Structure 1
Amino acid sequence: MSGACLGYEGYAALSRLVVDRVGQAEAFDDIGSRYEYAYPHKKGQLSAGQWLSHTLPAGSRVLDVGCGTGFPTARQLVDAGLEVVGVDLSATMVARARENVPEAEFHQLDLADLRDGRLGHFDAVAAFFSLLMLPRTEIPHALRMLHGHLRPGGLLALALVEADVDDVPIPFLGNSIRVSGYLWDDLRHVVSDAGFEIVGEESHVYAPSSTELPPEIQLYLHLRRA
């Protein structure tokens, strides 16, 4: 991916995330498998993964951004005959993903590390709740970078939480993480400006099993590279 795709300012902004997100990685290293216990049911995520697996031909290459433990997305997509490459900032999550989905390829990488195109191009990207870990100023840059990693007509399954917040610290399973979110209409504008066509939408009210975490509205967008 050339510098012209994202622009110097976009690359510079994403580069800063490597430093800014160290605390985020440490939090998820500590959380480990407790994340699966807090979020055991993933109807919306499974539905979005099904959209990818039903739309893409067998053997298509999919990038799973923020792959976590590999469940459910990497496992679901591999079982559907797709080639999955997963990335996550947390070493613990990557180790678990390799154990859970040995057929896939996993790398411990920050989102900013992808800017050099080291992993090649993809037919689709899955980004389920990974971009919410970024400040709002960086999310459009990240979307444009993912756009540049997609082949023409490539797909993006994107999920965020509906919330009018920007880089706000919240308690999360005994740790503190920073999150951002959008209201529906604002999110639609952001993805359209990044060069994506919206081909489907879903929203789900989700109540985590942990009483520490409040219910949330999860937003899912099915996108195509315009």
Structure 2
Amino acid sequence: MSQPAEESDWTLRLDRTGQAEAFDALGERYDEAFPHKEGQVASAEWLVTCLPAGSRVLDLGCGTGLPTALQLAEAGFEVVGVDLSDGMVALARGHVPAGVFHRADIADLRPGGPLDLGRFDAVAAFFSLLMLSRDEIPLALRTVRHLLVPGGLFALSMVEADVDDFSIPFIGNAIRVSGYLRDELREVVEAAGFEIVEESSYTYAPAAADVQPEVQIFLRCRRHA
């Protein structure tokens, strides 16, 4: 019989082999391959309209800092970004000098983990949780809940796909991704302690030839008190 999630998930074996290296190799080409980010911009704008200036916001999986960290910083928020890739963090620091960026794993942010960033009024996680296995995604969502103040906001995006730790070609590299079909994604998010306030989706065709068209799901959530 498996242990309850709260006892077992924190000790999951994490396999990040090749994930950061793929994004280190991409550099600025990442933004060139994904030039249209309307859904991401709209979800970040939801945070901008809901939060007062000066709010603390975490960009989880910040990438190059574009567009989200820059959008949030320009709105007057205190922006902290985290990414597993040294190359992405370096680019984010250059693009968003007002932000504070850390090279870190989401597992580092768990309760009792090695990186304590304090609490946030909102967290944005755009396409970062899909880099985790399905076993780890519920843990990552509980980590996000831990990072938020009661009632804090959470903007999440995932690619709709029924896959788990599945290797795909990605702009000349290979990465492993996980995803859910829409109803299951809602269930996983709600089970982690979030109310889904709004939902939208976009059909997206990246500019890179080896990245397949995809359906992107954007959830706008609030942490239950």
Larger RCO (CA under 8 A, 6+ residues apart): 1
Output the amino acid matched with 1:64: D
**Structure 1 stretches of 5 or more lacking a match?**
1-5
Q: Which residue of 38, 42, 46 maps to 1:51? A: 46
Q: CA RMSD in A?
A: 1.0
Q: Is 2:217 the counterpart of 1:214?
A: no
Q: Which residue of 62, 66, 69 maps to 1:67? A: 62
**Structure 2 stretches of 5 or more lacking a match?**
none
What is the rounded CA distance, in whole Å, between the counterparts of 1:147 and 1:164 in structure 2?
24
Name the residue aligned to 1:160: 158
What is the rounded CA distance, in whole Å, between the counterparts of 1:8 and 1:55 in structure 2?
35
What is the rounded CA distance, in whole Å, between the counterparts of 1:82 and 1:201 in structure 2?
24
2:102 partner SS:
strand
Output the amino acid matched with 2:123: V
Name the residue aligned to 1:12: 11
1:10 CA displacement: 2.2
1:213 CA displacement: 1.2
Give the TM-score normalised by structure 2: 0.94
What is the rounded CA distance, in whole Å, between the counterparts of 2:146 and 2:82 in structure 1?
17
Name the residue aligned to 1:150: 148
1:214 CA displacement: 1.2
Q: Which residue of 19, 35, 41 maps to 2:30? A: 35
Output the amino acid matched with 2:88: M
1:145 CA displacement: 1.0
Q: Which residue of 183, 196, 207 maps to 2:181? A: 183
What is the rounded CA distance, in whole Å, between the counterparts of 2:30 and 2:171 in structure 1?
8
What is the rounded CA distance, in whole Å, between the counterparts of 2:141 and 2:147 in structure 1?
10
1:8 CA displacement: 3.7
Name the residue aligned to 1:123: 121
What is the rounded CA distance, in whole Å, between the counterparts of 1:174 and 1:183 in structure 2?
27
After the TM superposition, which segments of 4 or more aligned residues of structure 1 sit over 4 Å from their partners? none
Deviations 1:26-82 (A, max 9, x none): 111011111111001100000000000110111000010000000000000001111
Name the residue aligned to 2:73: 78
Deviations 1:113-155 (A, max 9, x none): 1112610100000000000000111100110111011001001
Name the residue aligned to 1:110: 105
1:7 partner SS:
helix
Name the residue aligned to 1:139: 137
Report how many residues are paired.
217
1:11 CA displacement: 1.6
Fraction of identical pairs, as percent: 62
Output the amino acid matched with 2:203: V
Contact persistence 2:61–2:128 (CA under 8 A):
yes
More helix by share: 1
Deviations 1:84-115 (A, max 9, x none): 10000000000000000000000000111111
2:187 partner SS:
helix
